[in-house]
Amino acid sequence: MRLKTSLVAGAVVGAVMLAGCGSGDSNTASTPTGDAAAATQGTAALTIAKPDGALATESNNPWVGDSSGLKLGYINAILEPLGVVNLIDPTKPTQPWLASDIAWADDYKSVVLTARDGVKWNDGQAFSAADIGFTFDLFMKHKELDTAALGLKAVKVEGNKVTLTFANSMYVKQDKVLHKQIVPKHVWEKVADPAKEVNLKPVGTGPYTLSQFSTQSVELTARNDYWGGTPAVPKLYYVSYNDNTALTTALANGDADWAQAFIPNVKSAYVDKDAEHNVYWAANGLGIDAMFVNTTTKPFNDVAFRKAINMVVDREKHMAIAREGGVPALTSVTGLPTPVGDSYIASAYQGQNYSVDVEGAKKVLTDAGYTYSGDKLLDKEGAPVTFTLQVPQGWNDYVTGISLIADEVKALGVEAAVKTPDADTWWAAKGKGDFQAILHWTDTGATPYDLYSDIMDGRFLKPAGKEADFNFGRFDSPEATAALNAYANATSDDARKTALDTVQKVFVEQVPAMPVGTRPFIGSYNTRNYVGWPGEQDPYAPADPTQPSAVLILTKLKPAS
């Protein structure tokens, strides 16, 4: 069976920093590690799929989230990043790409990028440092394009080098900087409003060009003048199926070759259809699904109640039922997925894993002043304890997830109602803090910063009724906020470790949210025509065609013998 739901068990445990991207260090490479130049081109096309329904209109804007290029992921084969950060093993060195050398300052407030020689845009013009500088200048002039809030202060181009200077340390945002896809100055300097540009004839440095677009599929053709050599796959077809069921059928019968989608009953529905070639790999990154709770109102304004609920959530059951065994279970009490997060877990919490403890949870409650009337939990004022869980209708795994939690808290004498409003209603209530409990995700980054910041960082705090980007539960901890800021701006590994230890202590002891499950990078592919895919034995990148690292995969593929 080729069902893979974890990284290599022996993932490196060591320095907290990104190896090879350390202070004062630089990364240098002359060609992609895929050695595309030496690859023999195959004859079979590769069909890459998503379950998002028919495409309405074409847009190849690399910054607008609902553009067809970003939604299907084909922009990642046309435009390229400066470097590729391995988000499923951040201890690995960054792979230089359009920047042949990446040198961060000790404080990570600046980086010097060396433009790779010998690269051409697909319209024949030479790529240069001016293109890198122009792209980042766009983020300074058009703040709406800077979705990662990089806070650029200056861009300086000197010869083949570009120096980017930031207002704050980019230690926790190295991937956000380096994964920015570079656009050609000679094309985009003529665009009046880059946020609205549809870019129907995309010019890129990547290994493929856009050859045909329709609402049914998008065709890309391999370049024979690509700087890394001619890719092994001659044609790419990007297709969007109506739903997960249709996509799963296409994968199982071979109509689709590579996809990023959750597949229910993945073993029987897909893997076993061709156990020799079909692979499903869910590789943990540093992001999770969590139950965000409103810490400003009853019952979740009481840390004792939050602790008790956290003690009865069954993560193994969530993995097996809500996610149908298709993702790794979440185990560490720090909320960090393993093994990708192993090197970040504080010594105080090494080996401490979640387990269901109903009796222990009841003791936490009664010690805090809660009482029982029969089997019903009463709060300190003698009122029955209830709360409501909400996720949008149609989000089946999330609906199952909150239903499981509602059932689990009954063991404490708590009644939890499950509501499934439409997505727009839920989204508005989430941002304004108009909820008691919701299931939501955290961002995934190259460090644990995003996970913890999204849940408890004071920089996201907004009054009830005002839209919050994260920290939806309005958890207010100056200690956590200060530690997160210290971690992001530290200039040594020791300082980062000290700050992260504090972050985890607050997270574990005060339970600002309840981690429920992993949120891995999911990829399904087959090895019938091409090999060289990332996987458990070679986790060089997430097997997700919608990520900027997809270009690395495309240059590593070789025809199957």
pLDDT per residue as tens digits for the range 92-125? 999 999 999 999 999 999 999 999 999 999 999 9
Contact by Cβ (8 Å): 39, 178: no
Residue 561, pLDDT score: 84
Report the C-alpha gap between 456 and 450 in whole angstroms: 10
Q: How far is CA 109 from CA 82, 169, 172, 322, in A?
A: 17, 5, 11, 42
User: How far apart are alpha carbons 371 and 149 in whole angstroms?
Assistant: 47
- How far apart (Å, rounded) are the C-alpha atoms in residues 29 and 99? 9
In this prediction, residues 211-219 reach a mean pLDDT of 93
Q: Letter for the amino acid at 248?
A: T
Using DSSP, how many helices (H) and how many strands (E) does the chain show? 15, 24
CB 204 within 8 A of CB 121: yes
Q: How many Cβ atoms from other residues are within 10 Å of residue 149's Cβ?
A: 12
DSSP label at residue 277: T
Whether the bond between 202 and the residue before it is cis, its omega within 30 degrees of 0, is: no
For the segment 380-409, what is each residue's pLDDT rounded down to a tens digit? 999 999 999 999 998 889 999 999 999 999
26 or 518: which leads in pLDDT? 518
pLDDT digit string, tens, across residues 171-209: 999 999 999 999 999 999 999 999 999 999 999 999 999
Token pair listed for 318:
């969530």
d(Cα 60, Cα 127) in Å, to the nearest integer?
20
Instruction: Please give the structure tokens belonging to residue 422.
Output: 């439409």
Confidence of residue 17 (pLDDT cuts 50, 70, 90): very low
Residue pair 511/455 in contact by the 8 Å Cβ criterion: no
Tokens representing 159 are 């010869």
| Cα 135 to chain centroid, rounded | 23
Separation CA 408–CA 426 (nearest Å): 23
> Is there a contact between 429 and 273 (Cβ–Cβ < 8 Å)?
no
Burial of 424 (0-12, 13-18, 19+ CB in 10 A): exposed
Q: What amino acid occupies position 40? A: T
**What average pLDDT does this structure show over 437-448?**
96
**CA-CA distance, 83 to 100, in Å (whole number)?**
8
State CA 391 to chain mean position distance: 20
Q: Which two tokens stand for residue 150?
A: 């990089």
What's the rounded Cα separation, in Å, for the pair 453 and 459? Answer: 8
Q: What is the pLDDT of residue 37?
A: 45
The answer regarding whether domain 43-78+206-277+527-560 maps to CATH 3.40.190.10 reads: yes
Q: Rounded to whole angstroms, what are the CA distances from 417 to 70, 97, 321, 427?
A: 37, 50, 19, 18
Please name the CATH architecture into which domain 79-197 falls.
Alpha-Beta Complex (3.90)
pLDDT band at 215 (very low <50, low <70, confident <90, very high): confident
Residue 518's SS3 state is strand
Residue range 289-296: mean pLDDT, rounded? 98
8 Å CB contact between 83 and 272:
no
- What residue segments make up the domains of the chain, in order of their start? 43-78+206-277+527-560, 79-197, 284-520
* Cβ pair 535, 4 in contact under 8 A: yes
Give the 3-state secondary structure of residue 81.
strand
Q: What is the pLDDT of residue 216?
A: 83
Before 184, cis peptide (omega within 30)? Answer: no
Strand order in the sheet with 437-441: 415-419, 386-390, 437-441, 288-293, 513-518
**Which contiguous run of DSSP H or E holds residue 450?**
helix 449-456
User: Please, what sign has the CA dihedral across residues 405, 407, 410, 412?
Assistant: negative
Answer yes or no: are the C-beta atoms of 112 and 161 closer than 8 Å.
Answer: yes
Kindly give the residue spans of alpha helices, DSSP state H, lying in 142-189: 174-178, 185-188
Alpha helices for 85-231 (secondary structure H): 129-141, 174-178, 185-188
Predicted local distance difference test score (pLDDT) of residue 26: 61
357 compared with 215, residue with greater pLDDT: 357
Confidence of residue 52 (pLDDT cuts 50, 70, 90): confident
> Do 292 and 472 touch, CB atoms closer than 8 A?
yes
Q: Average pLDDT, stretch 483-497?
A: 95
Is the pLDDT at 28 greater than 70? The verdict is: no
pTM beyond cutoff 0.85: yes
360: Cβ–Cβ under 8 A, 6 or more apart, which residues?
311
pLDDT for res 31: 52
As a whole number of angstroms, the distance between CA 183 and CA 205 comes to: 8
Q: Which CATH superfamily is domain 284-520 in?
A: Dipeptide-binding Protein; Domain 3 (3.10.105.10)
396: Cβ contacts below 8 Å, ≥ 6 apart: none
Give dist(CA 312, CA 355) in Å, integer.
8
